[in-house]
Homo-oligomer: A and B are copies of this chain.
Amino acid sequence: MRFTSEQRLDDGVHERAFTLGGIPGILWTPASVPAPAPLILLGHPPLGLRGMYPRLVDRARRSAAEGFATATIELPGSGDRPRLPAVERARAGLRRVREAGEPVTDELVDALVLPLVDQAVPEWRAALDALLSLPEIGGPVGYSGGVISLGVRLAVVEPRIVAAGLFAGSFVPRALFEEARRVTVPLHVLLQWDDEGNDRQAALDLFDAFGSEEKTLHANMGGHTGVPRFAGDAVTEFFIRHVK
């Protein structure tokens, strides 16, 4: 892990860009860290860190105000990373079926999501190794938002993640429903009820499938990108309860 740039934001949050095995990432730590800070991994959609930066830094600042460090890395095939040809073909296929008004098949969902998750999971775990080796970062670790299938897989395979805040805003391969049954950490799931690009019933079925004893679903209005401010605050409250 190599830091490539750093800055202090106006609220004192320390932002450092890094690279790890060629993958770019960003780490935010609170203005004052008397003890090693608990860490929240910030998930995001596969649209590139640069474009997602404003929303990520907003989440980082709100988390830092509660004493959390946050970090994220670029997803496979996004930003400046090499494209994943199979996923690109699946995205073109998705555009075609949507324009034709046809249903999105299970095969297409698998092709869109599984290669991304398969490659991303070991990368996020390697990032976790590196981040937890820093003296200013302690544990425990939470995972928040982004591609929900990545969050589910990480919650199953990564024992250092003690709580997950998931955003039910993207396609979920059938295989992930089986993995969901093996999730046991506390979960906080956001669902935008009027998210037209999302399959609401699939999101509810996935919530039902989770094996966690404590799981909470927050459904709100505002469309895919219109998560209300108070719903974001509730995610922070969830992490305060579980990742401190």
Q: Is A89 an interface residue (CB 8 A)?
A: no
Chain B residue numbers with a CB within 8 Å of A52 are none
A221 to B237, CA, bound (A): 18
Residue of B nearest to A222 (CB): B214
A218 touches B221 (CB 8 A): no
Chain B residue numbers with a CB within 8 Å of A217 are 193, 217-220
B237 touches A230 (CB 8 A): yes
Q: Is A213 an interface residue (CB 8 A)?
A: yes
Chain B residue numbers with a CB within 8 Å of A219 are 207, 216-217, 219
A-B contact pairs, 25 of them (CB 8 A): A193-B207, A193-B208, A193-B215, A193-B217, A204-B204, A207-B219, A213-B221, A214-B221, A214-B228, A215-B220, A215-B221, A216-B218, A216-B219, A216-B220, A216-B228, A216-B231, A217-B217, A217-B218, A217-B219, A217-B220, A218-B218, A219-B219, A230-B237, A230-B241, A234-B234
Q: Which of A98-126 contact B (CB under 8 A)?
A: none
Q: Which of A177-219 contact B (CB under 8 A)?
A: 193, 204, 207-208, 213-219
Residue of B nearest to A220 (CB): B216
Copies in the complex: 2
- Write the nearest CB–CB distance from A224 to chain B, whole angstroms: 17
- Write the nearest CB–CB distance from A226 to chain B, whole angstroms: 11
Closest 8 A/B residue pairs (Cβ)? A217-B219, A216-B220, A218-B218, A215-B221, A214-B221, A234-B234, A213-B221, A216-B218
A217 to B230, CA, bound (A): 13
Chain B residue numbers with a CB within 8 Å of A214 are 221, 228
Chain B residue numbers with a CB within 8 Å of A207 are 193, 219
Q: Interface 1/0s, chain A 232-244, versus B by CB < 8 A?
A: 0010010001000
A230 to B239, CA, bound (A): 12
A215 to B219, CA, bound (A): 8
Chain B residue numbers with a CB within 8 Å of A218 are 216-218
A214 to B119, CA, bound (A): 38
A220 to B214, CA, bound (A): 7
Q: Which of A44-100 contact B (CB under 8 A)?
A: none
A231 to B188, CA, bound (A): 12
A216 to B215, CA, bound (A): 16
